[in-house]
Amino acid sequence: MIIIIGLGNPGEQYKNTRHNVGFMAVDEFAKKNNFPEFKLQKKYNAEISENEKIILAKPQTFMNNSGETVKKIILKNNAESLIVIHDDIDLPIGKIKIIKERGSAGHKGVESIIKSIGNEGLIRFRIGIKPQNRIYNIQNTKKLVLEKFTAEEQDIINQTISRTIGALDLFVKEGLDSVMNEYNK
């Protein structure tokens, strides 16, 4: 079973914010691959959609507690691979970086997951959300990640999510090495 976790915050007020690109990516992957509608599964505290090979999950714990949900899903399912898709403020908007078994680099959702399950075998699809023409500092990072994208940025993110879906499809067909070779350029 491949488990794909999209990170984000639940609730209408967070929809289409920078922090929710993980949710956006799993929603699009589900749509493109004809997954059933997401349903809240209280045992995981996550919205889940699955087929015979893949579980898609959107934790409903809020970003900083994502590890609670991921641990529950991992304990109840035989995972051959775990992929976490999340925003990355250190990457420029539109950039995708795929990594395995790395530290959190300060991302609180990833930090929560690593504290809960470790990072052995953990594959991450990092989606850049850093604004192109704006300076930010560590003090306003929290505010920035909860902002919605500008119209121009939304176009870039839509294209980036399409590329992320292509990367996920390639992962499912050919594995991690092929994806990293193709998308980490």
Write out the DSSP string of 81-136.
EEEEEEEEEEEETT-EEEEES---TT-HHHHHHHHHH-STTEEEEEEEEE-SS---
Residues of the chain with pLDDT under 50: none
User: Looking at the whole model, is its pTM more than 0.85?
Assistant: yes
Res 46: pLDDT: 98
pLDDT recorded at residue 50: 97
Nearest CA among 24, 161, 144, 133 for reference residue 89: 144
Q: Which helix (H) or strand (E) holds 57?
A: strand 54-59
Enclosing H/E stretch for 54: strand 54-59
Given this model, what pLDDT does residue 54 score?
Answer: 98
Tokens 């749509």 sit on residue: 31
Nearest to 101 by CA among 89, 113, 88, 87: 113
Q: How many Å apart are CA 125 and CA 182, to the nearest integer?
A: 13
For the question of residue 19 being annotated catalytic, the response is yes
Q: Look up residue 109 and give its two tokens.
A: 């959702």
Give the active site residue among 18, 19, 86, 107.
19
CATH code reported for the domain at 2-183: 3.40.50.1470
